[in-house]
Amino acid sequence: MGCSTLALGFQDEVWWSRLAQPSMYAWTEDKPLRLVETEAPKADTDRKALACYGLFLPQTDTMLLRFVNGRPVSQVTCDYLAWIADRMADDNKKALLLIWDNASWHRSNIVRKWLKAHNQRVKRAGGCRLIVCQLPSKSPWLNPIEPRWVHGKRAIMEPTRLLTAQELIERICTYYGCENLEPITQQVC
């Protein structure tokens, strides 16, 4: 396998809040600048926070994002991994070295079995293998996607009004230069 057929990716999940403001720093002449958490009107039925999976590809300095209807769980992670594997295969990648943290849904039996079955399918039929490497527990500074989340939250914030969930998604996708794709849906049994 040549280097052009291999990819390195750093994966993480993040919650984007419509209400909480990120930490910001600013110099002011007279009084400190304050960002306060917005309150949603009682009639607002939009989700207060949005879960999102992200993959940072340092070779191309790109991000791939997928939002979730629900929260990150094993089934959603498998759906996300299938989408990532398809994207990488479309880019003629034979293997993705996927580095992620120790979230419980990353280590679950469901995800481990899915990864094994996926890689066996790829071996027989072709596609992109997913080689997973876990970061040590409680070490977010080792994942270069983490500062990208912080910068993104600061860049898309709206201090004067409450964004709708759709506006928030559009701002996030624009900031990262990503497609606004259909969210992955958490299946409730």
Q: What is the pLDDT of residue 84?
A: 98
Q: What is the pLDDT of residue 65?
A: 97
How far apart CA 101 and CA 138 sit, in angstroms, is 8
Q: What is the pLDDT of residue 159?
A: 76
Count CB atoms within 10 A of the CB of residue 91: 14
**Helix segments in 62-144, DSSP class H:** 74-90, 104-107, 109-125
How far apart CA 6 and CA 94 sit, in angstroms, is 6
Cβ(47)–Cβ(18) below 8 Å: yes
Q: What is the value of pTM for the model shown?
A: 0.85
180 backbone dihedrals φ, ψ, rounded to 5°: -90, 90
Domains and CATH numbers, the chain: 3-25+44-185 (3.30.420.10)
Q: What is the pLDDT of residue 86?
A: 97
Per-residue pLDDT of the chain (189 residues; tens, 9 = 90+): 556 899 999 999 999 988 776 555 555 667 665 555 566 567 666 778 899 999 999 999 999 999 999 888 899 999 999 999 999 999 999 999 999 998 888 889 999 999 999 999 999 999 999 999 999 888 888 999 999 999 999 898 887 788 889 999 999 999 999 999 999 998 765
Q: What is the pLDDT of residue 33?
A: 58
